A and B are shown apart, each in its own frame.
Chain A
Amino acid sequence: MSDQQPIHIVPPVNSLRMVRTLMLVTALCGGLIVAVWQITLPAIAANKKVVLERSVRALIPNAAQIVEYDVSDKGVTPGKGDPAAGVVRFYAAYDKDGKLDAIAAEGGARGYSDTVRVLYGYRQACECIFGIQVTQMRETPGIGDKIITDPAFLKNFEKLDVSLSPDMKSLFNAVKTVKHGTKQFGWEIDAISGATITSKAVGRGINDSAKHLLPLLIPHLEKLGKGEGGREKGKTLGSALSIPFPLPPSLFPSEGETA
Chain B
Amino acid sequence: MSRSVIQASNMEQLLEGIWEQNPLFVMALGMCPALAVTVSAFNALGMGLATTFVLICSCTLISMLRHFIPKEVRIATYIVIIATFVTLVDYIIQAVSLALYEALGAFIQLIVVNCIILGRVESHAAKNPPLSALVNALGMGIGFTIGLFALGSVREILGAGKLFGISLFGEHFQPWVVMVLPPGGFFVLGLWLLFFAWLAKRKEQRPLIHAGDEAIMALRATTEKGARHGA
Contacts and interface: CB of A to CB of B under 8 A. Distances in A.
Do A and B pair up? The answer is yes
A13 B68 CA distance: 13
B92 A36 contact: yes
B131 interface: no
A13 to B, nearest CB: 6
A142 B68 contact: no
B71 to A, nearest CB: 9
A25 B95 contact: no
A48 B92 CA distance: 14
Nearest to B70: A18
Contacts of A62: none
Contact of A33 (B68, B77, B87): B87
A47 B95 contact: yes
A221 to B, nearest CB: 31
B6 interface: no
B181 A141 contact: yes
B8 interface: no
Contact of B92 (A13, A25, A40, A140): A40
Interface in A123-146: 136, 138, 140-142
Given A21-B68, A22-B77, A47 B94 contact: yes
B198 interface: no
Given A13-B70, A40-B92, A25 B98 contact: no
Interface residues of B, number: 29
A204 to B, nearest CB: 21
Contacts, number: 66
B84 A22 contact: no
A21 B95 contact: no
A141 B177 contact: yes
Contacts of A40: 91-92, 94-95
A43 interface: yes
| Dominant secondary structure at the B interface | helix
B119 interface: no
Interface residues of A, number: 25
A26 B80 contact: yes
A141 B180 contact: yes
A17 interface: yes
A44 interface: yes
Interface string B156-195: 0001000000000000000101001100000000000000
A117 to B, nearest CB: 11
A51 interface: yes
A37 B181 CA distance: 34
Contacts of B91: 36-37, 40, 44
A21 B94 contact: no
A211 B72 CA distance: 56
Interface string B91-118: 1101111110010010000000000000
Given A17-B70, A142-B175, A48 B98 contact: yes
30 contacts: A13-B72, A17-B70, A18-B72, A21-B73, A21-B77, A22-B76, A22-B77, A25-B77, A25-B81, A26-B80, A33-B84, A33-B87, A33-B88, A36-B91, A37-B91, A40-B91, A40-B94, A40-B95, A43-B94, A44-B91, A44-B98, A47-B98, A50-B98, A51-B98, A51-B99, A136-B102, A138-B105, A141-B159, A141-B175, A141-B180
Interface of B: 65, 68-70, 72-73, 76-77, 80-81, 83-84, 87-88, 91-92, 94-99, 102, 105, 159, 175, 177, 180-181
Given A33-B87, A43-B96, A138-B105, 17 more contacts: A13-B70, A21-B73, A22-B73, A33-B88, A36-B88, A36-B91, A40-B95, A44-B91, A44-B94, A44-B95, A47-B94, A47-B98, A51-B98, A136-B102, A141-B175, A141-B181, A142-B177
The 10 A-B residue pairs whose C-beta atoms are closest, nearest first, are A43-B95, A29-B84, A40-B95, A142-B177, A40-B91, A47-B98, A44-B94, A36-B88, A18-B73, A18-B70
